[in-house]
Amino acid sequence: MSLNLNKLVDKAWEDKGISELLDAPPSALEGLTQKHDELLAELKIKTIRDLGNWKYAAKAHALVQLADGQS
């Protein structure tokens, strides 16, 4: 099964594989820019993998899931 990641990533990254995307800067994600890369780097987030594994993002996601389950 092939994943269509085109809606998730910037056009320049649409032909990349998942491993390459995880090692890419956050600006490879649709809607983020190099300015976001600079801001996130201050939090030691330099790749999409870092962002996905960032403990505060995981906590925020858990809270959203809990809230969605209450509606």
Burial (CB count <10 Å: 0-12, 13-18, 19+), residue 14: middle
Give me the DSSP letters along 8-56.
TB-GGGTT--HHHHHTS-GGGBTT--HHHHHHHHTTT--SHHHHHH-HH
What pLDDT digit, counting tens, does each position of 20-39 carry? 999 999 999 999 999 999 99
- Percentage of the chain lying above the pLDDT 90 cut: 85
Distance CA 34, CA 68 (A): 32
**Quick one: pLDDT at residue 67?**
93
Domain boundaries, the chain: 5-69
Model-level pTM?
0.85
